Amino acid sequence: MLKMIPELNKATVRMRDRGQVETIIRNMQREGASALQVISDFDMTLTRFAHKGKRCPTTHNILHNTNLISEECKAKMSNLVAHYYPIEIDSSKSVEEKIPHMVEWWMRAHDLLIQQKIKKVQLAQAVKGSGAKLREGYKSFFKVLKQNSVPLLIFSAGVGDILEEVIIEHGVFDPNVRIFSNYMDYDENGVACTFKGELIHSFNKKEGALQNTHQFVHDRTNVLLLGDSLGDLDMAEGVQDLKNLLRIGYLNDKVEERREAYVSSYDIVLEEDETLDVPNAILNYITAGEGTSPGQ
Ligand SMILES: Nc1ccn([C@@H]2O[C@H](COP(=O)(O)O)[C@@H](O)[C@H]2O)c(=O)n1
């Protein structure tokens, strides 16, 4: 197997149980593309965490960086990030402790955004040149999924409207891609007036998945899951009759501090890896020879 997927030997890769990873991948390969679906987080998972030493924006930050937002609002949004992001990634706090803070962060940020009277028609232009970058290797990732008709469910606590613009800008909003996220609602003049539906934040994806099982594809029982937070681990909870689940986690920030928690939770951990090399290699392996029996 390792010969077939040499990317698993990259220095950025950590695995708790290499044998188990190999077994899961082999099972998935045996059943092929027709049994597979991919469920992925978006910000800092499909998008880059950093580029040339600079942090890349999340979907919330993209809006922040545009001229659709006043300077006063930008300052307030920055203060929110400075206060709440350290809580989000604090390995000394439990998820239960973090949740009230996350709800507060998202609600305060969404209130600020709605006060800005953002027009839907301005979003595409605003996203262009915002610095949002999908990870290196994204073209191959989206192409292989599209060519093999493998559904990709993007499950994001970001801003869905912005997320869509980012993947449209990159030319990969393909018919097999479905998005489940926080979307804005617009009034009759096309001005954002509220956020629709239940709020999704980084640590309620399990509840979101269980309450929205219709968002998932049910006849594909093998799932490749990609995330960057411990809150992403349960994104496949909405899939019925799940058979094989391989969870790949990007560990982007505070690596030393969070390594243990990530390695004990994700099957494969990618440390400070700005590429999709490993997911791509696994996808290529699974989809290459449906029904064939690959060598070791
Ligand atoms: N006001 C906010 C709120 C959240 N964030 C970040 O966005 C990420 C959520 O999106 P996923 O696609 O990863 O689910 C989250 O991890 C927060 O750090 C933000 O930048 N601004």
Cβ of 88 less than 6 Å from ligand 1: yes
- Looking at the whole model, is its pTM more than 0.90? yes
Q: How big, in percent rounded to 5, are the helix, strand and coil portions of the chain?
A: 45, 20, 35
Instruction: Give yes or no for residue 43 CB within 6 A of ligand 1.
Output: yes
Q: Whose CA is nearest to atom 5 of ligand 1?
A: 60
- Number of neighbours of residue 85 by Cβ within 10 angstroms: 13
CA of 105 to the centre of ligand 1 (A): 10
**CA 155 – ligand 1 centroid, Å:** 12
Containing H/E element for 30?
Answer: helix 18-31
Positions annotated as catalytic residues are: 41, 43
Whether ligand 1 lies within 6 angstroms of the CB of 227 is answered as: no
DSSP state of 129: T
Structure tokens at 206: 């399990």
- Whole-number Å distance, alpha carbon 225 to ligand 1 midpoint, is 18
Residue of the CA atom closest to atom 6 of ligand 1: 58
Domains 6-48+134-288 and 50-127 alike in fold? no
Burial of 157 by CB count in 10 Å (0-12 exposed, 13-18 middle, 19+ buried)? buried
Domain ranges within the chain, ordered by starting residue:
6-48+134-288, 50-127
The CATH class of the 50-127 domain is: mainly alpha
- For residue 121, the 8-state DSSP code is G
Q: Rounded to whole angstroms, how far apart are CA atoms 161 and 126?
A: 12
* Strand (E) or helix (H) holding 178: strand 177-182
Alpha-carbon torsion angle 117, 60, 283, 145, nearest 10: 10
Mean pLDDT per 10-residue run, the chain (296 residues)? 86 96 96 96 97 92 90 95 96 95 98 96 88 94 98 97 96 97 97 96 91 85 97 93 97 96 98 98 89 44
Closest residue by CA, ligand 1 atom 19: 60
Per-residue pLDDT of 110-147, as tens digits, reads 999 999 999 999 999 888 878 889 999 999 999 999 99
Q: Answer yes or no: is the C-beta of 157 below 6 A from any ligand 1 atom.
A: yes
Query: What is the distance in A from the centroid of ligand 1 to the CA of 285?
Result: 31
Measured between alpha carbons, how far is 39 from 178 in angstroms, rounded to an integer?
A: 10
Gap from CA of 182 to ligand 1 centroid (Å)? 11
d(CA 71, CA 74): 5
Phi-psi region of 44 (alpha: psi -120 to 50; beta: other; left: phi over 0): left
Q: Is 142 in the pocket of ligand 1 (CB under 6 A)?
A: no
CATH superfamily of 6-48+134-288: HAD superfamily/HAD-like (3.40.50.1000)
* pLDDT for position 85: 95
pLDDT score, position 1: 66
- Pair of tokens at residue 134: 């999908």
Short-list 270, 252, 235, 246, CA closest to 44: 252
What pLDDT is recorded for position 128?
A: 87
Position of tokens 């501090």? 257
The closest residue, in CA terms, to atom 1 on ligand 1 is 109
The 3 state secondary structure assigned to 208-273 is HHHHCHHHCCCCCCEEEEEECCHHHCCHHHHCCCCCEEEEEEEECCCHHHHHHHHHHHCCEEEECC
Pocket test for ligand 1, best of 39, 40, 44, 167 (most atoms within 8 A of CB): 44
Q: Which two tokens stand for residue 244?
A: 């094989």
Q: What is the pLDDT of residue 210?
A: 84
Ligand 1 neighbourhood includes 202 CB (under 6 angstroms): yes
Question: How much is the pLDDT for 126?
Answer: 85
- List C-alpha distances in Å: 13 to 1, 43, 95: 15, 20, 25
